Amino acid sequence: MMRNGAVRPRWLCAALVSALPLVFVAGCGTWDKHRDADNPRPDGSVARVAVDVRPDRPAQPGRPIVVSVRDGRLYAVNLVGPDGRAVPGGNAPGDATWSNSEPLGYATRYTLTASAVDAFGHTTTRTEDFTTIARDAELTVDTVAPDADSTVGVGMPITVTFHRPVTDPAQRAEVERHLEVSTSEPVEGAWGWVDDETVRYRPRAYWPVGTKVAVLTSLLGVDFGHGVYGGPGGRVGFAVGDSVIATVDSGAHTMTVRRNGTDLRTVPVTTGKPGFTTRSGTKVVLGKAPHVLMDGTTVGISADSGDGYRLDVEWATRVTWSGEFVHAAPWSVDSQGSANVSHGCVGMSTDNAKWFYDQVKLGDVVTVVNTGDPKAMEPIGNGYGEWNLAWPDWLARSVAGAGTTRPL
């Protein structure tokens, strides 16, 4: 989650976790046991144990249970579920409070037993039975992209999809606040909704080269209102590799590839002919394959028309879901560098296509300029087109707004 002022429960690290029936957590120190006649020892313990759960008030799984004591020290706390397993937890410094370090389950009955000792050595124990809330509906993460442990390009956004729609603005704001993005160096960015089930994180500018990124997607116990509660998630980490940016100049019929700001190569290309103009704007590599069967009927071109085609294409790098690729086009070599004759793809010689294929990875950037046509890359829905939105326009898709990533 970005540092935008949102508050999350802070789990206390377990100072001591034990599988024994009671978790003993005694502190060190010297207590003054000297008492004179004017201060006799009390018959019972003066320690008072307080817990923040009640039998008549279901607890929320995502919020830690806190046990505290006055005029004494906690020495044993046991939080047990129906399976008899003790929930891990530990004391804060001073042994004045205890909290569980593991979230609780939904609609589950627990027994909490807490014992404290006062300065006279007298002990007291408090036991509370309570249940956690039942959920009418659960909001859980379905998928996260990019994949864990992958290395991606500087243009790769983070995409989180849910198994159910999120339409209420207040619920969307809670989702954005509880999806945590951490990076090895500070990055300004924002979550934005691309549809009711998908939220995407885009930095304000391209990711810095070499950045390590982690996404925490657990919404467990978050109350989204209307009976909807968050479900479990996970952590996905990935790395940002070299900056590889290709600029396709349709008017000049060239493509220039740069790595980390240095030109690698300029190659002759052909782009979309009239009626099939290549979309202008910024696109992001979605994937690649050494062989792709391209069939014009899949993009609305009749097989019986003069523009119909069905070809096994080599070294195909995909940049839109609608069918734009950068690929080998040996049949148009004579036009490459001088004319635009394709059905919308960026075509080049087989050798150049193989070279480009070897340079790029998921998340690298391909920008098309000088098409002479208003047809442009869609910002939403046809790949990763979010870079075609100005920053204020992207923020209009966010409820929580922009912020800086957490340190990793």
Could you count the other beta carbons within 10 Å of the beta carbon of residue 227? 11
Q: How far apart are CA 372 and CA 252, in angstroms?
A: 11
Q: Tokens 């150049």 correspond to what residue? A: 352
Kindly state the tokens that stand for 197.
């089930």
Radius of gyration of the chain, Cα coordinates, nearest whole angstrom: 30
Q: How many Cβ atoms are within 10 Å of 195's Cβ, its own excluded?
A: 12
Question: What are the percentages of helix, strand and coil residues in the chain, rounded to 5?
Answer: 10, 40, 50
Are 295 and 395 a contacting pair, CB within 8 Å?
A: no
Would you list the DSSP string of 140-195?
Answer: -EEEEES-TT-EE-TTPPEEEEESS----HHHHHHHHHHSEEEESS--EEEEEEEE
Tokens in use for 165? 């729609």
Please state the separation of Cα 316 from the chain's center in Å: 29
Q: Which residue is catalytic, options 178, 253, 343, 345?
A: 345
Residue 295 CB neighbours (<10 A): 14
Distance CA 222, CA 124 (A): 34
Tokens of 239: 């790395």
Please say if 28 is a catalytic residue.
no
Tokens of residue 95, six digits = 């042994």
List, in order, residues 6 or more apart from 310 with CB less than 8 Å away: 293, 294, 295, 296, 297, 303
Q: Which of 178, 253, 327, 343 is catalytic?
A: 327
The burial of 77, by beta-carbon neighbours within 10 Å (0-12 exposed, 13-18 middle, 19 or more buried), is given as buried
3-state SS of 328-373? ECHHHCCCCCCCCCECCCEEECHHHHHHHHHHCCCCCEEEEECCCC
Active site residues: 327, 345
